[in-house]
Amino acid sequence: MVNPAQTDAVILVGGRGTRLRPLTNNTPKPMLPTANYPFLQHLLARIKAAGITHVVLGTSFKAEVFEEYFGDGSEMGLEIEYVVEEEALGTGGAIRNVYEKLRNETVMVFNGDVLGDTDLLAVLGTHQDKNADLTMHLVRVQDPRAFGCVPTDADGKVLDFLEKTEDPPTDQINAGIYVFRRELIAEIPAGRVVSVEREVFPRFLEDGRRFYGHVDSSYWRDMGRPDDFVHGSSDLVRGIASSPLLDGRTGEALVDDSAGVAAGVLLLGGTAVGRGSEVGAGARIDGSVIFDGVTIEPGARVKDSIIASGVRIGANARIENCVIGEGAQIGARCELMGGMRVWSGVSIPDNGVRFSSDA
């Protein structure tokens, strides 16, 4: 087994998270509260639990937010370093950009948008057992048509990278974890945009590198869209997806100790309620993510939605499948549904009118 203490972890967290706006207007996506912790913190805890302690974050958008929160990583038992992309470099360029911070011959790279719970030590074990130059985590999914597929031979060697197709030849997809020999990273072109999937990996295949897949059926979800973000947080709260941060605290809801929940409130479906939030009597919150400092007045209903910090939801309002931006004010008896997004700071007055993106 590769010694995890002699493995570097690299996490790519430079994206702008445009599909989650307005939540990401001022906050990088990996720092959004997910089951009451920044999403990135769950991944860092998994890396620490696997025995890896040196982490390099490849940042770009709002780069300072990461360092302000995690510092040098010592509070988590990690040593965290930061490399900032001045201009977007793509996945391959971002990996190349952190090369000077690497210390070890084995480098485990993570896509910072993915929620998963594969056994990291097992992936490292495959890398060593195959004497691989590069190992990719592949996950089996029920419907691979929405993803690029990665077929492997009987020994696990990667054969090809295929674009989305209606008739995929395999159910194995790229799950966003790669283990490199460090010298391969030095071969990625520096200082320009490079796609690891479209340029780097195909070239390594053509060059005959020892390129293997570690295949499993572990939990996996791309957290880039609101519905996936909601369901990912819910799955963490309910223990469907695992996180060392939540050991022994999973269930129908996760409520911060500083939050206030009145009598008769129903919290269901893996709902998370953040720090300092208040939920009024008779409210019902189902499968939703409630950030810090939210006020939900009596009788309100919130389902499958994300409610950002500082939002006030009026009495008997109904919110379903929506994203409510920071500091928005939703009046009493409002009905918002159908994928609607309310921008930060917007106020919707008390009324019984139905607002819907489908209307």
Q: Calculate what percentage of the chain has a pLDDT beyond 70.
A: 97
Predicted pLDDT of residue 358: 46
Query: 49 with 151, same domain?
Result: yes
- Establish if 245 belongs to a structural domain: no
- Establish if 231 belongs to a structural domain: no
Predicted pLDDT of residue 159: 93
Q: Which tokens belong to 199?
A: 């340029």
Closest by Cα among 3, 17, 33 to 306: 33
Q: Calculate what percentage of the chain has a pLDDT beyond 90.
A: 75
Mean pLDDT confidence for 342-351:
90
Residue 131 β-bridge partners: none
Phi, psi of 33, rounded to the nearest 5 degrees: -60, 125
**Residue 40: in which H helix or E strand, if any?**
helix 39-49
**Cβ proximity of 222 and 228 under 8 Å:** yes
Predicted pLDDT of residue 145: 87
> Of 207, 225, 243, which one is at a domain's C-terminal end?
225
Predicted pLDDT of residue 262: 95
> Of 210, 225, 240, which one is at a domain's C-terminal end?
225
Residue 96 pLDDT more than 90? Answer: yes
Mean pLDDT confidence for 270-285:
97
Mean pLDDT confidence for 167-189:
92
Predicted pLDDT of residue 359: 39
For the stretch 191-247, pLDDT in tens is 899 998 889 999 999 999 999 999 999 999 999 899 999 999 999 999 999 999 998
H helices of 269-309, in order, are none
- Establish if 240 belongs to a structural domain: no
Query: 216 with 280, same domain?
Result: no
Query: Which residues in 123-145 are b (16+ Cβ under 10 Å) and which e?
Result: bbebbeebebbbbbbbbebeebe
149: containing domain: 4-225
Query: 99 with 220, same domain?
Result: yes
Q: Which of the four pLDDT bands, split at 50, 70 and 90, describes residue 253?
A: very high
For the stretch 31-81, pLDDT in tens is 999 999 999 999 999 999 999 999 999 988 788 899 999 999 999 999 999
Mean pLDDT confidence for 10-19:
85
Residue 179 β-bridge partners: 108, 135
Query: 19 with 147, same domain?
Result: yes
Query: 122 with 263, same domain?
Result: no
Query: 104 with 216, same domain?
Result: yes
Query: 257 with 203, same domain?
Result: no
Query: 207 with 257, same domain?
Result: no
**Amino acid identity of 51?**
G
- Establish if 243 belongs to a structural domain: no
Query: 309 with 195, same domain?
Result: no
Q: Which of the four pLDDT bands, split at 50, 70 and 90, describes residue 188?
A: very high
**Residue 120: in which H helix or E strand, if any?**
helix 120-129
- Establish if 232 belongs to a structural domain: no
Predicted pLDDT of residue 150: 92
Mean pLDDT confidence for 87-96:
88
Who's near 229: CB < 8 A, 6+ residues apart?
20, 32, 34, 223, 289, 306
Residue 355 pLDDT more than 90? Answer: no
Query: Comparing 86-100, 102-116, 121-135, which segment has the lowest mean pLDDT?
Result: 86-100
Residue 286 β-bridge partners: 268, 303
**Cβ proximity of 35 and 237 under 8 Å:** yes
- Establish if 82 belongs to a structural domain: yes
Mean pLDDT confidence for 288-295:
98
Predicted pLDDT of residue 191: 86
Q: Which of the four pLDDT bands, split at 50, 70 and 90, describes residue 353?
A: low
Query: 209 with 80, same domain?
Result: yes
Give the Cα separation of 103 and 77 in Å (integer): 18
Q: Which of the four pLDDT bands, split at 50, 70 and 90, describes residue 108?
A: very high
Query: 264 with 148, same domain?
Result: no
- Establish if 237 belongs to a structural domain: no
Query: 336 with 282, same domain?
Result: yes
Predicted pLDDT of residue 167: 81
- Establish if 342 belongs to a structural domain: yes
For the domain that residue 298 is a member of, what is the CATH number? 2.160.10.10
Residue 283 pLDDT more than 50? Answer: yes
For the domain that residue 71 is a member of, what is the CATH number? 3.90.550.10
Predicted pLDDT of residue 326: 94
**Cβ proximity of 273 and 279 under 8 Å:** yes
Number of domains in the chain: 2
| 96 Cα distance to chain centroid | 22
Predicted pLDDT of residue 61: 77
